[in-house]
Structure 1
Amino acid sequence: MSEQPNSVILLIDDDETYLAVLQRRLQQATHFDVISCTSVQQALSLDLQHVHGILLDMMLEHESGLEGIGSLKQKFHPQHLIMLTGYASIATTVEAMKRGATDYLAKPVGLAELVQRLQNTADVTTITPSPMTPAQVEWEHIQRVLLAHNGNVSATAKALGLHRRTLQRKLQKYTPTRH
């Protein structure tokens, strides 16, 4: 590992295969030393004070990546903290940015885009959002209400006027499956 703390990228994702592949590809494509962890707690236990960037999965096995943003920023002072997620929503994007994320990318994300974001070469002004489908609009609304109720499915279902099981089915329909 390099002596320069700003040359370190920290990857946090519970998918160990994804971690290994991304770590190898980032090390081959950049000058960064890449350290991978499967949880926020594992990352916080590292003997590092500063890192250049953190790539953080939003849905970790036993914790939310959103919940870890503050403590990761406080300990490592990264120039970049990029949230990665399989299913992005406007509500979670806003929440991640409020908590201190510097960027938010939907998986799968290309290596070139990650490298651009980590090296400050992305021209984010050229990104044009595509129109949302009715299903995406519904998903966004559900995510906003769920976030407003701190992830409480029963309270969210009540606020949406849905039965709890109906809401759970809708959430499962769009939630990525874990292998």
Structure 2
Amino acid sequence: MPHLALYTFGVLKSPLADPGRLTREFYESGEAVYREIGRRPGYIAHAEPAVHSRGTLFDADWREWGEFAVPAWYGKGRTAETTALAATLSLWADLRTAFDAVYTGLHRAALNRRYDWVEKAPHPNYVFWWVSDGVIPTWQDGVSRLEHLHDHGSAPHAFTFRHAFAPDGTPTRTTGIGPKSEDRVR
């Protein structure tokens, strides 16, 4: 059975190494969100470095998730002192469970504060795509899918909640969002 891959990307207003209050709040919120999401139905896994260290995303060992990569539009630093981005890569059982995790609980509260931490951008900040059972998506997969979504809009190759596709490539919908369709994810 296919799984749903999710890549998120945002450019932070300040570097991850910034000792300021907002950066501390971002980290604290993120740690709590990951703990809560890890217990959600439908959650399978997310990319984690072999050793956690603030701001060393580019040099980290991400094991089977591959070498860390970012979209072409990221123009800030790449060192532990200058990296200013938030990125996640995760696997989900389906759209409904991903939707429920994103729009409830601590993650919803963090989304409500995202512009305290993340710059507003003219490009998408997340993308979904289906992967075969047993396949672990890589950071580069996420970047290429996000850039494809930006350049071409939603398609079975790269899509959003609002314009989603089932594993067979047919348009689908998560109840409560997106254009009307006969197919609904429940």
TM bucket normalised to smaller: 0.3 to 0.5
Structure with larger Rg: 1
- If asked which structure has higher relative contact order (CA below 8 Å, sep 6+), I would say 2
Q: TM-score, with normalisation over the residues of structure 1?
A: 0.33
Q: TM-score, with normalisation over the residues of structure 2?
A: 0.33
Higher share in helix:
1
